[in-house]
Amino acid sequence: MFDNIVILTGAGISAESGIPVFRSETGLWEQERVEDVATYDGFVRDKKKVHDFYNKMRLSLADKQPNAAHLALTRLQKEWPKTHAGKVSIVTQNIDNLHEKALSEQVIHMHGELMSILCEKCHASYAFAGESSVDTVCENCNSRGHMRPDIVWFGEMPYFMDEIEQLLSKCSLFMSIGTSGVVYPAAGFSQYARSQGATCIEFNLEQSAVVSNFDWGLYGKASETVPAFVDHLLKTGEALKEPKS
């Protein structure tokens, strides 16, 4: 029987909704070099380019909709506490807003959000849906020229790590959905959760690089495997065990 559930989601859950994968074998992201648009050095070199890139990405979210996997997690988050003492927490590596569109609550964006902006002067971050530029004025401190996308770039520390560690230490079921298992610190979440006694299950198209950290896996499209698993979990309170391969 499970109480607290922690769910980690990665690019694989949003890919079926048409969201581009952050990392790619070509070293490109939306036809731009990752070094140019996803590092702080790239931002310093050409702030206009980076602002324009994330403006385009932000605009592209307008017509993107959550798929069945996102909706299933919202259902789990709403229905699980009615029959169990624990809660369901969603931690995502994704910078899109599909969990929010699916009406999931208190989603932890460890890599930041497209629909947010950050001031380097006062360190305030807040919801932002428009177009940013080098001249954007901070709503908190009224300074100009200090705004950046609220995104955790390569080489930067992910957000909310202390909170995530606390959640993992208290969870009895850890679900990893659509993540490669190669990006740390998220790649170590399963190992830590398992060391704390949690049952760990991965949902992926194929086995991840850290498959040995999981008790078992469900492989196929997240829009199919996740809703089926959630249905079973809500009906029985138990995980449906499947072989890793």
Q: Residue 9 in contact with residue 91, Cβ under 8 Å? A: yes
Q: How many residues appear in the chain?
A: 245
Task: Give the C-alpha separation, 245 to 243, whole Å.
Answer: 5
Taking the CA atoms of 143, 149, 152 and 155 in sequence, report the sign of the dihedral they define: negative
Residue 123 annotated in active site: no
**Most distant pair of Cα atoms in the chain: their distance:** 56
Tokens standing for residue 122: 């006062």
Q: Which of 12, 139, 119, 117 is nearest to 54 (CA)?
A: 117
Q: What is the DSSP string of 94-121?
A: --SSHHHHTT--S-EETTEEEEEEEETT
| Residue the block writes with tokens 């581009």 | 20
Q: Which of 70, 84, 111, 123 is catalytic?
A: 111
Catalytic residues: 111
